[in-house]
Amino acid sequence: MNGGPGARESRWHGVPGTLLEYRVPASATTVLVALGSIFVLTSQSASSWPTYMLGAYVLAGAAKWRTLLFDRGFLVVVVLLAYISLSSLWSTPWDAREAFSQVMRALLVFTFVVCIAESVQVDWFLRRLMQVMAVCGTLAAAAAIAVFFIEPPDDGRLNGLGQLDTHVMAAMVYAIAAVCGLAWLAGNDRPLGRWIAGVCMAVLVVAVVLAGSRNAMVCMVFALGCLVVANRIRTARGFVLTAGSLAVGMLIALLTAYWLVPGAGDVILPRGMSFRPAIWLDYAARIRADGMWFGLGVSTPDLIQVGGYDVLHPHNLYLAVAHQAGLLGLALLVTVIAVTADTLFRNYHEPEAKLGLAVWAMALPGYLLDGHELVDKVGWTWLLFWLPVGIALGIRARRGLEDARRFGVRVIS
C-alpha cells in the first residue's frame, strides 16, 4: 500500500534529492541562459532572475562543493567580494538599502563563480558556452547593425540593443562573443559548424568596428591572436613569448602610425583621449585624500566634472576598485588575477584554460581604459572577468568536486 504518514514522509524527503541529483548540469544550463539573456533582454533585472534561481540552486548543493573552501584562490575571491560589500559601511552617504543590494550582488557573483567551477566538469559545457555566446551575440549584433543602417545615429557609432546600450559595452561584449566564435571554429570538425562559426565571427567583428571603440577593437585583435597562438603553440612558455611579442608588435605599430603617418592619429584616436588623463588624475587625488588604504566605499557616488562634462566613473576598472576599496581592495584584486593566471598557465593544455587566457587577453588590457563595476549583477563583467576566474577554480578543483565529476570530467594526470 502507498498510504500512511511514513510513505508521505518518504516521498517528501525524496523530492530534494531528486531535484539535486542533476544539479550540476541543471545549473550549467541555467548559467548559459543567464549569459545569453544579456544579448536579448533590455533589463539587467530581468536577466538577473535566472541568476537568483542559480544562486539558490548552488547554495542548496553547498555540501557538494564545500571542498572549494580549502582552495586558496577561492578564499581570496570570497574575501574580495566580502570586503567590497563591507566597504558600503563607510560609503557617503550611507544607505542601508544600497548596502543590502551590494551584498546581494556579491552573493550572485559568488554563486556564479561556483557554478562555473562546477560546470567546467560537465563535458558539454565549454562547447555550449561558445555556441550560446557566438550565436546569441551574432543575432543581437545583426539586429544592432540593421538599426544602425536604417536609423543612422548622430555620432556615427553603433549602439547595442537591450542591455548593450552603450558603445563600449556593446563593443566589448560582441568582441568576447567573437572570441567564443573563434574557439568554436577551432574546435569544430564539422563543415556546417565551422561555416556557422565563421559567419558569426564576421558579423561580430563588423559590429565591433561599427561601435567605434578603439579599445575594444585593439583588445579583440589581441585576444583573437592569443587564441590562435594557444591552439598552435604547445607550451605555456611559448605562448607567453609569442603573445608578448604580438602585444609589443601591435603597440609599436600603433605608436608608429600615430606619430609618423599623416592622418593616422585621427583614425586611431578620433576623439583624442576623451579626457581620460584628467579623469584619472582627479580620481587618484580623491583616493589619496579621502581613502587611500580602505577606499571611499562602494556606494559613494563616483560623479566628477572634467572639462565641463559630468563623468560618472573612472573609466578604469583598477582605479574604480581603488576608489571603492582602497589599496587593500586593489591588492586583493591583483591577487585574484595572479592566482587565476597561474592556474590557467599551469593547465595550458586544457581547452578551458586556453579560452580563459584569450578572454583575459582582451579584458585585462581593456580595463585600463574602461570598466568601473567589478561586483555587479549579470552583465559584461561576468563575461570578461569572473568567467576566467570560475574556469581556473574549476580546473584546480577537479579532484574535489565529487558531485560534478559524475557528469564527465577530464582528470588531470
**Biggest alpha carbon–alpha carbon distance for the chain:** 90
Residue pair 339/80 in contact (Cβ under 8 Å)? The answer is: no
- Provide DSSP, 268-333: H-TTTTTTHHHHHHHHHHHHHHH-TTT-S-TTS---EEETTEEE-S-S-HHHHHHHHHHHHHHHHH
What are the b/e assignments for 302-319, b being 16+ CB within 10 Å?
Answer: bebebeeeebebbbbbbb
- Provide DSSP, 354-397: HHHHHHHHHHHHHTTTS---SS-SSSHHIIIIIHHHHHHHHHHT
Q: Where are the domains of the chain?
A: 23-268+278-405
* Residue 192 neighbours by CB under 8 Å, 6+ apart: none
Residue pair 244/236 in contact (Cβ under 8 Å)? The answer is: no
For every one of its 413 residues, what pLDDT tens digit does the chain have, with 9 covering 90 and above? 444 444 433 333 443 444 456 778 888 999 999 999 998 888 888 889 999 999 998 998 888 888 898 899 999 999 999 999 999 999 988 889 999 999 999 999 999 999 999 999 888 999 999 999 999 999 999 999 999 999 998 888 998 887 887 888 999 999 999 999 999 999 888 899 999 999 999 999 999 999 999 999 999 999 999 999 999 999 999 999 999 999 999 999 999 998 988 888 888 887 777 788 888 888 899 999 988 999 999 998 877 777 667 777 788 999 999 999 999 999 999 999 999 999 999 999 999 999 999 999 999 999 999 988 899 999 999 999 999 999 999 999 886 676 666 675 443 33
Task: Report pLDDT for 412.
Answer: 37
CA distance 10 to 18: 12
CA distance 233 to 239: 6
CA distance 141 to 145: 6
Confidence (pTM) = 0.91
* Residue 40 neighbours by CB under 8 Å, 6+ apart: 136, 140, 162
SS3 12: helix
Residue corresponding to grid cell 530581468: 46
Task: Report pLDDT for 89.
Answer: 93
Nearest to 327 by CA among 288, 278, 358: 288
Q: What is the DSSP letter of 67?
A: G
Cell numbers describing residue 389: 576566474
CA distance 114 to 390: 7
Half-sphere exposure of 70 (CA within 13 A, CB side): 7
